[in-house]
C-alpha cells in the first residue's frame, strides 16, 4: 500500500490534475490578496465565484462566444466587488459579516437565475485544451501532459501570479495598495485616496473571483449546477492567509492544497483500502499542518478589516 502511495506521488496525471484543481483557487486568491493588501477582507468570494460561474456559463450557452463568457464573468464579478467595496469602505460595515451576506446572496442568486433561465443542466463548449505545439506531446516525465495540455484559462491563471506580484511590488499602484493596507493615515496624508485604492482593489478582486467561477463553468467543468463551487471561495480566502499575502505564497498554497487533493483521488484508486473519508479530509489537514510549521514571515496588512476614518 505504501509503495502504491509513493508510486502515485510521481504520477504525471496527478501533477496535471493538481494544475487543473489549482486554477480557480489561484484566480480567486490573487484577487482576494489585492483586496486584503489594501486592508479589505472579502469573505464573499464564493458567492462572487458562483455568480461569475453562472454568468460566464449563460453567456456561452446563449451566444456560444467564450469571449463574451469571460467578459460576462468579469462584469458581474466586478459589479459584486464594487458592491462589497461600497459596503465595507463607504458604509464601513463589519467585513467578516458582510462577506457572509454577499456569499449567501451569490449562492441563492446564481441558483435562482439558473432555475429561471436554464433549468436542467446542459453542458457548453467551453475553452478547449490547447496543446502547445512541440511541448504538449513531450513524453519525458509526462511533462507534456502536466504543463502543456490545458485550456487557456489555466495558463492565464498561472501567468497572473507574476503579474500580480509585479503590480504589488513594482508599480505605483502597488505601492499605494501596500501603503493603504499598512498605514492608511500616512497614505492619506501623502495625498493617496484610501477610498479610491480600496474600491479599485476590491473591484479587481471581484472580477478575478468572477473569472475563477468562469474557469469552472466554461473551462474545467463546462456545466453549471447549484452551488457549483462547493465552497472553493472560502478555501481561496484561507489560502491568502496561507500565502502570507504574497502572490507566490498564494500560488504555493493553492498548489499544495490541490496536490494533496489530486493525490487523494489517485490513492482512492491505487489504495482503495484507505477509507475515502480520510482521503477527502487530507487536503484540509495538510494545509493546516503545513501552516503550523511554515515560516511566520508575513506581510499581514496592519489595517486589515479596519475601516479608514480621517483625523
Partner 1 sequence: MTQSSVGGMTHQRIDRLVMRGIVKQFPGVLAADHIDFDVQSGEVHALLGENGAGKSTLMKMLYGLYQPDEGTIEVNDSPVKIGSPQDAIRLGIGMIHQHFMLVPSLTVAENVALGMRGIRDGVLRLDDVVRGLLELSEQYNLKINPHTPIWQLAVGEQQRVEILRALYKGAALLILDEPTAVLTPQEVDDLFRILRQMTDDGHALIFISHKLHEVLAISHRVTVLRDGKKIDTIPTSEATKRKLAEMMVGRPVVLEYDKHPVKRGEVRLRLERVSALSNRGDLGLKHVSLELHSGEIVGVAGVSGNGQHELAQVIVGLRPLESGAIYVDGNDVTGKSPAVMNRLGVSYIPEERMIDGVVKEFTVAENLVLQDHAREPFARGGLFMNFKAITEACQRAIRDYEIKTPNTETPVKNLSGGNIQKLILARELSRNPHVLIAAQPTRGVDIGAMEYIHQRLLDEREKGTAILLISEDLDEIRLLADRIAVLFEGEIVGIVDSADADVETLGLMMAGVREHES
Partner 2 sequence: MTSSNDSRFSSSILVAWLNRFLDAMPLLIALVLALLVASILLLALDANPITAYAAMFEGAFGSENATAETLVRAIPIMLVAIGITVAFRGGVINIGGEGQMIAGALFGTWVVLRIGDSFGVWSIPVSLLAAFAAGGLFGGLAGFLKAYFGVNEILSTIMLNQVAVQMMNFLLNGPMLDPADAGVNNIPKTARIASAAQLPRLAFPLGGEAALFDRTRLHTGLLVAVLLAVIIYIILWQTTIGYRIRAVGQNEHAARYAGINVERQTVLAMFLAGGAAGLAGAVQVLGLQYRLQTDGSPAGFTANAGFNGIVAALFGGLNPLGAIPASAFFGALLVGARRIQTELGVSSSIVLVINGLIVVFVVSSQLFVRRRVRQRLSALMNEDAQNTEKPPDSSLDATTVKAEGGHD
Partner 3 sequence: AQDGPFRVAAVAPSATNDLAFSQSMFDALTKIQEELGEDNFEFVFQDGTFIVDDAAVALRDWASSGDFDLVIAHGSQFGSILEELAPEFPEVSFAWGTDQNTFGLDNVFAYTAAAEQGGYINGAIAAGMTETGVIGVVGPIEVGDAKLYVDGFVAGVAATNPDVTVNVTWIQSFSDVPLATEAAETLIANDADVLTGTAQMVVGPIAVATENDLPWFGTQSSQADLAGDDGVLFQIYRWDVVLKDMIEQIQNGTLGGESFVISLENGGIEMEIDPDRFGDDADALAAFEEQVNALVDGIVSGEIVIFPDEAAEPAATEEVEG
Query: Which stretches of the chain bind partner 2, using CB under 8 A?
Result: 43, 47, 87, 91-94, 96-98, 100-109, 111-112, 115-116, 226, 234-235, 237-238, 241-242, 275, 277-278, 280-281, 284-285, 287-288, 291-293, 296, 305-306
Partner that binds at residue 220, options partner 1, partner 3, partner 2, none, CB closer than 5 to 8 Å by kind: partner 3
Q: How far is the CB of 301 from partner 1 (least distance, A)?
A: 9
Distance CA 202, CA 42 (A): 8
For partner 1, the closer of residues 16 and 187 by Cβ is 187
Q: How far is the CB of 199 from partner 1 (least distance, A)?
A: 16
Q: Say which residues have a Cβ less than 8 Å from residue 209's Cβ, sequence separation at least 6.
A: 27, 28, 31, 32, 45, 48, 49, 52, 77, 80, 81, 233, 236
Distance CA 94, CA 75 (A): 25
Partner that binds at residue 120, options partner 1, partner 2, partner 3, none, CB closer than 5 to 8 Å by kind: partner 3
Handedness of CA 285, 296, 42, 164 (dihedral sign): negative
Partner that binds at residue 121, options partner 1, partner 3, partner 2, none, CB closer than 5 to 8 Å by kind: partner 3
Helix (H/G/I), strand (E/B), else coil: 52: helix
Q: How far is the CB of 308 from partner 2 (least distance, A)?
A: 13
The 10 Å Cβ neighbour count of residue 68 is: 17
Partner that binds at residue 306, options partner 3, partner 2, partner 1, none, CB closer than 5 to 8 Å by kind: partner 2
Q: How far is the CB of 244 from partner 3 (least distance, A)?
A: 26
Assess contact for 151 and 129: CB atoms under 8 A.
Answer: yes
Measured between alpha carbons, how far is residue 82 from residues 16, 256, 304 in Å? 35, 31, 18
Partner that binds at residue 299, options partner 2, partner 1, partner 3, none, CB closer than 5 to 8 Å by kind: partner 1
Q: How far is the CB of 91 from partner 2 (least distance, A)?
A: 4
Amino acid at each position: 500500500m505504501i509503495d502504491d502511495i509513493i508510486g502515485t506521488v510521481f504520477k504525471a496525471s496527478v501533477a496535471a490534475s493538481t494544475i487543473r484543481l489549482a486554477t480557480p483557487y489561484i484566480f480567486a486568491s490573487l484577487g482576494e490578496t489585492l483586496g486584503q493588501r489594501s486592508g479589505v477582507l472579502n469573505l464573499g468570494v464564493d458567492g462572487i465565484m458562483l455568480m461569475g460561474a453562472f454568468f460566464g456559463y449563460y453567456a456561452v450557452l446563449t451566444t456560444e462566444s467564450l469571449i463574451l463568457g469571460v467578459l460576462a464573468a468579469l462584469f458581474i464579478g466586478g459589479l459584486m466587488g464594487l458592491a462589497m467595496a461600497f459596503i465595507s469602505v463607504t458604509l464601513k460595515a463589519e467585513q467578516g459579516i458582510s462577506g457572509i451576506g454577499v456569499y449567501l446572496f451569490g449562492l441563492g442568486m446564481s441558483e435562482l437565475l439558473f432555475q429561471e433561465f436554464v433549468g436542467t443542466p446542459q453542458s457548453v463548449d467551453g475553452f478547449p485544451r490547447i496543446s502547445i505545439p512541440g511541448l504538449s506531446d513531450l513524453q519525458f516525465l509526462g511533462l507534456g501532459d502536466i504543463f502543456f495540455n490545458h485550456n487557456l484559462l489555466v495558463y492565464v491563471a498561472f501567468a497572473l501570479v507574476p503579474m500580480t506580484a509585479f503590480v504589488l511590488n513594482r508599480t505605483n499602484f502597488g505601492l499605494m495598495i501596500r501603503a493603504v493596507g499598512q498605514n492608511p493615515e500616512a497614505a492619506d496624508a501623502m495625498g493617496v485616496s484610501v477610498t479610491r485604492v480600496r474600491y479599485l482593489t476590491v473591484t479587481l478582486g471581484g472580477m478575478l473571483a468572477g473569472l475563477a467561477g468562469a474557469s469552472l463553468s466554461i473551462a474545467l467543468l463546462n456545466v453549471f449546477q447549484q452551488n457549483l463551487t462547493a465552497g472553493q471561495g472560502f478555501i481561496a480566502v484561507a489560502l491568502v492567509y496561507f500565502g502570507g499575502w504574497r502572490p507566490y505564497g498564494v500560488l504555493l498554497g493553492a498548489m499544495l492544497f490541490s496536490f494533496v487533493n489530486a493525490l487523494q483521488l489517485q490513492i482512492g484508486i491505487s489504495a482503495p483500502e484507505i477509507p475515502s473519508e480520510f482521503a477527502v479530509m487530507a487536503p484540509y489537514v495538510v494545509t493546516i499542518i503545513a501552516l503550523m510549521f511554515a515560516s511566520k514571515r508575513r506581510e499581514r496588512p496592519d489595517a486589515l478589516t479596519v475601516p479608514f476614518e480621517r483625523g
